Amino acid sequence: MDSVGSSLAGVDLSKLSDRDKQELQQFVMNESQKARIQACTPAFSLYPPPDIHPAFPNPQSPP
């Protein structure tokens, strides 16, 4: 577990106000979505498009 997670392990969330609980839940959902998007991003950026990479010339582009 990371240092933030281990430091939050002893926190009593029942002491938060309803608004704070809602904000915390929204924050966690946003961070989770961001992590999923960031996990997908490298798959799109590993290889340049074929017309840019010399090993994969675009058959429609002039020589």
Q: Using the structure block, give the residue that is written with the tokens 């961070």.
A: 31
Say how many C-beta atoms besides its own lie within 10 A of residue 50's C-beta: 13
Provide the residue ranges of all domains of the chain, joining segments of one domain with +.
17-41
pLDDT at 4 over 80: no
Say how far residue 36 (Cα) sits from the centre of its chain.
4
d(CA 52, CA 20): 49
Say how far residue 57 (Cα) sits from the centre of its chain.
32
pLDDT at 1 over 50: no
Is pTM beyond 0.85? Reply is no
